[in-house]
């Protein structure tokens, strides 16, 4: 299978002078959410390294993933989720219609049109529209919404089909998609076919200057092949008989630039173009010292962010993710924040709910369920929409109940109140104020109990006991940037085994007279039945989750039934060598309750 390719020459100018300045490690595709069954299959990770062309200034990834792997059935980005985003696209369409005197005979083509929010506004303004997108589920949603959308990657074949069926386009838009396209020659050949002689190509992308200044490194992921500034764009389009004639800046997505391109000589060049070129020189974004400093700041931010999260967990804080955007997956995977640190991601997009995040495998749940839980901290991974997120009714109630928001980028902030929708209570994280930030944390056990015969819980210790059986959530004894260390058992052990159990299969249903058993659940869930060997009518039942350890003393009957495919480490005080184990195993029959 073709997974992708290593880039050894600049995509825009073909220079081999590429200066690598940032390495975020090996990461999975950020928008490729996982089903539960996917968790048991291999997951491909790719190198996420960033370089800048020393000749033209284009900043780009050094590895290009095959787009067929990125934009498949589980591609999960929807442009219609936030009101801020919808308002931005509606205003964009109206501005373009007015500025270029568009009328009902004009055709607008949106490359990477997603669910069609931008095209919907053009349609409301009376224009003819067509969307092109590669993600099958997204295309299906767009067409259901009445936005005609063709599935595919832009190429000469699709360009010719547009001309044959719709005519040439007066406006071609590529919002947050131009940087996704590896084959720029194919793109330019396509534009020559279907963009009108007086047509305008409008690109909107996050601005590299702001990425550097605001430390927006979480926007770096495998879909985003380029991190754009004006200098390389001017040079690239000039070499393709086009010219950048205007540039505007907008606050969307942590600051974006809207770049207007046409065939040479058609439109008067705005002074804005030179202003942006001068700004880029002033900010020294094409100098190695600036790039190296940015890389050092990224490493420091990771260290600071991990220190905060680790300390909050040590204090007993329960942390979740608010929203599950692609940028959040860069942060989760680069910092190695898995389900121990982040219990789940609360999301409003219906096409993500019920899935798991790539790499760290954190479950994604409906944000409506957020208030059913008792949460200390919610990390707003979609920080570019933090203002809107914090002002929705669910977030307001979350704050009233004592919850706090963490905004991770560009600087780490703790937010505990929004007064009258105007004043925001903010604490910036530092070692000195950590005690203030973490005060008031609540400690909650996380056990799923079924029926009235279940164990009693001690919330302080995360431990349940009955028949001398103990079930506990295993917490780390040490955490640092390398990961976590947890002690499972500190008693004499004579056997350690790894046991896998398929869904609905049963193990055990016996007791031991000598051996003490410790079972740690690595993944999956077990329904466990317990009873004293001399009273099989008094049966207790508990659901045992991943990350929990059950300690079973002698003379306690135990039966494990896998609720889903499960893996556990089983440890015994007695050896299982030769016949020793069977001599100490006494089988009984328990009736399910």
Asked if the structure places residue 242 within a domain, the reply is yes
Residue 339: per-residue pLDDT: 86
Phi, psi values for residue 223, rounded to 5°: -65, -35
Separation CA 29–CA 438 (nearest Å): 33
Separation CA 220–CA 217 (nearest Å): 5
Asked if the structure places residue 446 within a domain, the reply is no
307 and 264, same structural domain?
Answer: no
334 and 249, same structural domain?
Answer: no
β-bridge mates for residue 366, sequence order? 347
Asked if the structure places residue 136 within a domain, the reply is yes
Asked if the structure places residue 443 within a domain, the reply is no
Domain boundary among 384, 408, 438: 438
Task: Output the domain CATH number for residue 480.
Answer: 2.60.120.10
Residue 513: per-residue pLDDT: 92
37 and 65, same structural domain?
Answer: yes
Task: Output the domain CATH number for residue 278.
Answer: 3.40.50.150
Q: Count structural domains, the chain.
A: 3
Average pLDDT value over all residues in the chain: 87
Buried b (16+ CB within 10 A) or exposed e, 440-456: ebeebbebeeeeeebbe
Asked if the structure places residue 291 within a domain, the reply is no
DSSP letter string, 249-312: EE-GGGSEEEEEEEETTSSPPPHHHHHHHHHHHHTTTTSHHHHHHHHHHHHHHHHHHHHHHHHH
422 and 465, same structural domain?
Answer: no
Residue 428: per-residue pLDDT: 54
177 and 233, same structural domain?
Answer: yes
Do 390 and 379 touch, CB atoms closer than 8 A?
A: no
Pick the closest to residue 527 from 564, 502, 563, 553 (CA basis): 563
529 and 403, same structural domain?
Answer: no
Residue 408: per-residue pLDDT: 95
154/434: higher pLDDT: 154
170 and 33, same structural domain?
Answer: yes
332 and 278, same structural domain?
Answer: no
Q: What pLDDT, in 10s, does the model give residues 522-577?
A: 988 999 999 998 888 888 888 998 889 999 999 999 999 999 989 999 999 988 87
Domain that holds residue 17: 4-286
Asked if the structure places residue 448 within a domain, the reply is no
Other beta carbons within 10 Å of 68: 13
382 and 254, same structural domain?
Answer: no
Residue 68: CB partners within 8 Å, gap ≥ 6?
Answer: none
Task: Output the domain CATH number for residue 409.
Answer: 3.40.50.720
pLDDT at residue 177 tops 90: yes
Classify 65 as helix, strand or coil.
Answer: strand
Asked if the structure places residue 128 within a domain, the reply is yes
475: exposed, middle or buried (Cβ count in 10 Å: 0-12, 13-18, 19+): middle
Token couple for 226: 């380029």
Phi, psi values for residue 494, rounded to 5°: -115, 0
Domain boundary among 254, 286, 318: 286
The model's pTM: 0.76
Residue 123, H or E segment = helix 117-124
Q: What pLDDT, in 10s, does the model give residues 265-310?
A: 999 999 999 999 999 999 999 999 999 999 999 999 999 999 999 8
Separation CA 415–CA 55 (nearest Å): 43
97 and 210, same structural domain?
Answer: yes
Q: What pLDDT, in 10s, does the model give residues 28-40?
A: 999 889 998 888 8
pLDDT at residue 445 tops 60: no
512 and 372, same structural domain?
Answer: no
Residue 455 pLDDT class (50, 70, 90 cuts): very low
Classify 415 as helix, strand or coil.
Answer: strand
Asked if the structure places residue 152 within a domain, the reply is yes
340 and 427, same structural domain?
Answer: yes
Domain boundary among 403, 438, 473: 438
């Amino acid at each position: 299978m073709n997974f992708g390719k290593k880039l050894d020459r600049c995509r825009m100018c073909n220079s081999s002078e590429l200066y690598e300045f940032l390495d975020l490690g090996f990461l999975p595709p950020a928008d490729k959410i996982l089903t539960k069954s996917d968790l048991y299959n291999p997951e491909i990770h790719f190198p996420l390294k960033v370089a800048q062309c020393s000749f033209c200034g284009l900043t780009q990834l050094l590895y290009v993933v095959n787009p067929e792997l990125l934009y498949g059935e589980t591609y999960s980005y929807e442009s219609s989720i936030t009101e801020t985003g919808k308002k931005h696209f509606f205003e964009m369409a109206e501005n373009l219609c007015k500025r270029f005197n568009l009328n009902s005979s004009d055709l607008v083509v949106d490359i990477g049109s997603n669910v069609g929010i931008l095209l919907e506004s053009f349609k409301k303004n009376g224009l003819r529209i067509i969307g092109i997108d590669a993600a099958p589920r997204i295309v299906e949603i767009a067409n259901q919404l009445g936005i005609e959308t063709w599935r595919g990657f832009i190429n000469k074949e699709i360009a010719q089909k547009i001309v044959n069926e719709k005519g040439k386009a007066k406006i071609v838009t590529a919002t947050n998609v131009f940087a996704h396209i590896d084959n720029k020659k194919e793109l330019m050949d396509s534009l020559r076919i279907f963009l009108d002689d007086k047509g305008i190509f409008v690109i909107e992308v996050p601005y590299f200057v702001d990425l550097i200044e605001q430390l927006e490194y979480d926007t770096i992921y495998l879909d985003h092949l380029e991190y754009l500034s004006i200098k390389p764009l001017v040079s690239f389009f000039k070499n393709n008989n086009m010219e950048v004639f205007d540039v505007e800046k907008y606050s969307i997505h942590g600051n974006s630039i809207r770049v207007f391109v046409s065939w040479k000589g058609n439109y008067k060049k705005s002074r804005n173009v030179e202003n942006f070129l001068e700004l880029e020189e002033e900010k020294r974004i094409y100098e190695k010292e600036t790039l190296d400093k940015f890389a050092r700041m990224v490493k420091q931010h990771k260290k600071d962010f991990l220190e905060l999260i680790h300390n909050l967990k040590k204090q007993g804080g329960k942390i979740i993710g608010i929203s599950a955007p692609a940028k959040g997956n860069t942060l989760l995977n680069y910092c190695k924040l898995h389900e121990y640190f982040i219990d789940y991601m609360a999301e409003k997009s219906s096409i993500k709910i019920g899935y798991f995040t790539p790499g760290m495998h954190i479950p994604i749940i409906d944000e409506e369920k957020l208030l059913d839980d008792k949460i200390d901290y919610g990390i707003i991974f979609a920080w570019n929409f933090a203002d809107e997120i914090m002002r929705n009714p669910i977030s307001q109630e979350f704050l009233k109940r004592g919850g706090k928001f963490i905004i991770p980028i560009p600087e780490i902030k703790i937010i505990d109140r929004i007064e009258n929708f105007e004043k925001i209570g903010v604490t910036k994280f530092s070692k000195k104020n950590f005690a203030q930030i973490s005060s008031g944390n609540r400690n909650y056990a996380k056990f799923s109990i079924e029926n009235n015969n279940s164990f009693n819980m001690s919330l302080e210790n995360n431990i349940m006991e009955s028949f001398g059986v103990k079930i506990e959530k295993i917490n780390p004894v040490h955490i640092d940037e390398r990961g976590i260390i947890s002690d499972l058992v500190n008693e004499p052990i004579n056997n350690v085994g790894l046991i896998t159990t398929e869904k609905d299969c049963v193990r055990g249903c016996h007791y031991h007279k000598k051996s003490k058993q410790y079972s740690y659940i690595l993944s999956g869930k077990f329904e466990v039945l317990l009873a004293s060997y001399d009273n099989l009518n008094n049966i207790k039942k508990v659901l045992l989750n991943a990350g929990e350890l059950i300690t079973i003393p002698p003379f306690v009957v135990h039966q494990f039934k896998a609720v889903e495919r499960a893996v556990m480490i089983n440890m015994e005080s007695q050896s299982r060598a030769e016949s020793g184990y069977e001599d100490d195993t006494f089988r009984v029959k328990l009736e399910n309750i």
